Amino acid sequence: MNINLDPSRDDLPLMANTSHILVKHYVLDLDVNFESQIIEGTIVLFFDSGNKFRKKSSSTEETCRPESNEACKFRMLEPCHISVTNTRTFSSKMGYNDFAICGKGEKDTSGKDGNHDNWKLASEISSSKYCCDTGNHGSEDFLLVLDCCDLSVLKVEEVDVAAVPGIEKFTRSPKLTVVSELRNQIVRELVTLPADRWREQLDCYARCSQAPGCGELLFDTDTWSLQIRKTGAQTAPDFPHAIRILYRTKPQGRSVTWTSDQSGRPCVYTMGSPINNRALFPCQEPPVAMSTWQATVRAAASFVVLMSGENSAKPTQLQEGYSSWHYYVTMPMPASTLTIAVGSWTEMKPETYSSNDLAAERRSFSPSEADFRCVGVCGHVEYPCRFQNASAATQEIIPHRVFAPVCLKHTCQETLLRLIPPCLSAAHSVLGTHPFSRLDVLIVPANFPSLGMASPHIVFLSQSTLTGRSHLCGTRLCHEIAHSWFGLAIGARDWTEEWLSEGFATHLEDVFWAKAQQLAPSEAQEQQELRAVLRWRRLQDEVRNSPEEMQVLRPNKEKTGHVSDSGSSLIKHGLNPEKVFMQVHYLKGYFLLRFLARKLGDDTYFSFLRKFVHTFHGQLILSQDFLQMLLENIPEEKRLELSVESIFRDWLESSGIPQPLQTERQAGAECVLVRQVGVEVAKWNRMNRRPRKRKRKEKEVLEKLLPDQLVLLLEHLLEQKTLNPRTLRSLERTYHLPQQDAEP
> Which residues participate in catalysis according to the annotation?
480
Spatial neighbors of 481 by CB under 8 A, at least 6 apart, are 423, 424, 427, 439, 454, 459, 512
Give Dmax (Cα) for the chain: 103
Going by C-alpha positions, the residue among 480, 662, 658 that lies closest to residue 584 is 658
Q: How far apart are CA 386 and CA 109, in angstroms?
A: 11
Helix (H), strand (E), coil (C) string for 266-294: EEEEECCCCCCCCCCCCECCCCCCCEEEE
Scored b (16 or more CB within 10 A) or e, 330-360 reads bbbbbbbbbbbbbbbbbebeeeeeeeeebbe
The one-letter code for the residue type at 323 is S
Q: How far apart are CA 192 and CA 723, in angstroms?
A: 68
Q: DSSP letter string over 33-71?
A: ETTTTEEEEEEEEEEE--GGG-PPPSSS--S---SSTTS
Other C-beta atoms closer than 10 Å to the C-beta of 656 total 13
From the number of C-beta atoms within 10 Å of its C-beta (0-12, 13-18, 19+), residue 195 rates as middle
Dihedral of alpha carbons 87, 89, 94, 100, sign: negative
Q: DSSP letter string over 146-212?
A: EE--SEEEEEEEEE-GGGSTTGGGG-S-TT---HHHHHHHHHHHHHT--GGGHHHHHHHHHHHHTSP
Q: How far apart are CA 416 and CA 423, in angstroms?
A: 11
Distances 207 to 164, 165, 266, 384 between C-alpha atoms, Å: 7, 9, 33, 21
Q: Are 11 and 116 a contacting pair, CB within 8 Å?
A: yes
Scored b (16 or more CB within 10 A) or e, 499-534 reads bbbbbbbbbbbbbbbbbbbeeeeeebebbbbbbbbb
Q: How far apart are CA 189 and CA 413, in angstroms?
A: 48
Q: How far apart are CA 179 and CA 163, in angstroms?
A: 11
CB hemisphere CA count around 623 (13 angstroms): 29
Q: Are 564 and 119 a contacting pair, CB within 8 Å?
A: yes
Q: How far apart are CA 733 and CA 744, in angstroms?
A: 14
Other C-beta atoms closer than 10 Å to the C-beta of 56 total 10
Q: Are 641 and 402 a contacting pair, CB within 8 Å?
A: no
DSSP-assigned beta bridge partners for residue 128: none
DSSP-assigned beta bridge partners for residue 328: 294
Q: How far apart are CA 381 and CA 386, in angstroms?
A: 13
Other C-beta atoms closer than 10 Å to the C-beta of 63 total 17
The one-letter code for the residue type at 198 is W
CA Rg value for the chain: 27
Q: Are 339 and 270 a contacting pair, CB within 8 Å?
A: yes
Other C-beta atoms closer than 10 Å to the C-beta of 258 total 18
DSSP-assigned beta bridge partners for residue 219: 75, 228
In 266-367, beta strands by DSSP E: 266-270, 291-300, 304-307, 316-317, 322-333, 340-343, 346-347
